[in-house]
Amino acid sequence: MFGNFQPASVEYLRFLPEILLSAFGIIIMMLEAVSKGKRTYLGVIALIGIAAAFAANAWAYFNGGPAFQNMILIDGYGAFFRGLVLVVGFLCILAAFSYLEREHAQTGEYYALILFSLVGQCILSTSTDLIMVFIGLEISSIATYILAGFLRDDTRNNESALKYFLLGSFATAFLLYGIAWIYGLTGSTNLEEIRRGLTQGTQPLVLIGLAAALLFVGFAFKVSVAPFQVWTPDVYQGAAAPVTAFLSAGPKAAAFAIFFRVFLTSFRPFSDRWLPLVWGCALATMIIGNFAALLQTNIKRLLGYSSIAHAGYVMIAFTAASQIGTAAAMFYLASYALMNIGAFAIISHIAGRNERHVKLEDLAGLGRREPVISALLAVFVFSLIGVPLTGGFFGKFYVFQAALNSHLVWLTVLGLINSAIAAYYYLKILLAVYMQEPATIAQESLPAPAPSLLVAIWASAIGTLFLGIFPSAVLSFASLSAAPFR
């Protein structure tokens, strides 16, 4: 009777990226225990592990299909997000080398935690079962709670980690309660079977709505969509800059991946009922994010609010609920991840020891002191605004195009107004860099950025420009793999 439960070897290979990441994480932990002196080589091992996982992911894509009793499904969509979070992890480790050195926190646990967090995000990207969704979300979240408080002697880190942990656990409880209701209603945790069970029409609509609402709250918290966004600025401001880069790109992309998959698979038959809610959330998220960002003077906090606003644009693509909407969201998340990591990597360099210089006025005169870094920062800021020739432009373009295709004229207009407002606070950054004179002469000169950090920044910049000049390469893959979510 156990014969057909024996996993085939191809199923293990489809799950190979996660296995590799876990194995490398464990190796790093063991080496950490026995190594003395410099720990930089542990980071190099982590980079090798991520590269191996990326290769395994590519292999899994060409041999796609379900694995382990339909717990996970490797399709183009899953492989895309798995690849995206792996790239994010790679860049964040590269950007963290010199930062950890500077803060005297060069330990293997940092790299191990990033790898384990990536395991959770990879599972999230590919899972088709609510049990796997929950476990993946927990792995990803718990690892990031710890990362947010990694610099233990820094009170800002402690505050960030505590807030993130308490609010995050609360949101996870909502998600778990929703999963329990769904299981009670349909007797299944598999997304396709839930859809089949719900469309039979025997379950009361009120209870389906309750379950969907609980799941919505859980996911909306993880992607910081209004009204569940309050934690974002505090956590982003308090955490160490490379960690913030990771938080704003990796977990968010993976959570959006599963958000789309659950709602556009299981609850698709009821989309008329929940899409107005998503419409409202998208608008509220953009408005809150953009208007609050106008008032900020701390750059990390400003980018925290800006990340809320960007989640709002992705929600517009969600509201479109079409194949091109999903594809637009995939493209948007990819370009957002690259430009945000780049911006945070530059901030981690400018901030200086102990992150003392994170105010807007600390950027004054940077254009003269560090012309190359300033030019790269300008690329990322232009991309965040959505200026042509950058990835951010095509991200917004496709999102609004998808919204218009689904006849969401008002949401498109309001979204465009919002992105015009957003240009104001982004330009404030560039104004400080190029136009303002430093207020005090005592500005210490920054040490030259480490080569690893420069590689991370340059790679993000090239990626951002690549997406802005040749968007069709990524977009055609995205729209091909978004086919199941119509």
Binding status of residue 22 toward another protein by CB under 8 A: yes
At 425, the amino acid letter reads Y
- Considering the complex, state which of residue 3 and residue 445 has its C-beta at the smaller distance from another protein: 3
Amino acid at residue number 13: L
Which of 68, 51, 61 is closest to 118 using CA atoms? 51
Contacts of 46 (CB under 8 A, 6+ apart): 24, 25, 28, 93, 111, 112, 114, 115
CB of 69 to another protein, least distance (A): 5
Output phi, psi for 421, to 5 deg.
-65, -40
- From the list 64-72, 82-90, 191-199, 305-313, the region that binds another protein by CB under 8 A is 64-72
By CB under 8 A, the count of residues binding another protein is 45
What tokens does 73 get? 């499904």
Q: Which is nearer to another protein, 104 or 273 (CB)?
A: 104
Determine how many CB atoms are found less than 10 A away from the CB of residue 175: 22
**Nearer to another protein (CB atom), residue 132 or residue 320:** 132
Number of alpha carbons in the 13 Å side-chain half-sphere of residue 395: 31
**Binding test (CB under 8 A) with another protein, winner from 135, 180, 387, 423:** 135
Please pick, from the candidates 8, 48, 51, 131, the single residue that binds another protein as defined by CB under 8 A. Answer: 131
Which is closer to another protein, CB of 172 or CB of 419? Answer: 172
143 binds another protein (CB under 8 A): yes
Work out the angle between the directed axes of helices 108-126 and 130-148 (0-180°, nearest 10). Answer: 150
Contact between 251 and 222 under an 8 Å Cβ cutoff? The reply is yes
Residue 134 or 305 having the CB closest to another protein: 134
**Exactly one of 101, 138, 159, 193 binds another protein (CB under 8 A); which one?**
138
Q: Which tokens hold the place of 237?
A: 């401001």
Residue 286 near another protein by CB under 8 A: no
24 forms part of the interface with another protein (CB under 8 A): no
Angle at 354 (CA atoms; ends 351, 357), nearest 5 degrees: 30
Q: How far is CA 147 from CA 23, 110, 312, 452, in A?
A: 19, 7, 25, 20
Q: Does 152 bind another protein (CB under 8 A)?
A: yes
Is the CB of 185 or the CB of 402 nearer to another protein? Answer: 185
> Contact residues for another protein (CB under 8 A)?
2, 5, 7, 15, 18, 22, 26, 29, 67-69, 71-72, 103-105, 107, 109, 112-113, 116, 119-120, 123, 129, 131-132, 135-136, 138-139, 142-143, 145-146, 149-153, 161, 204, 206-207, 210
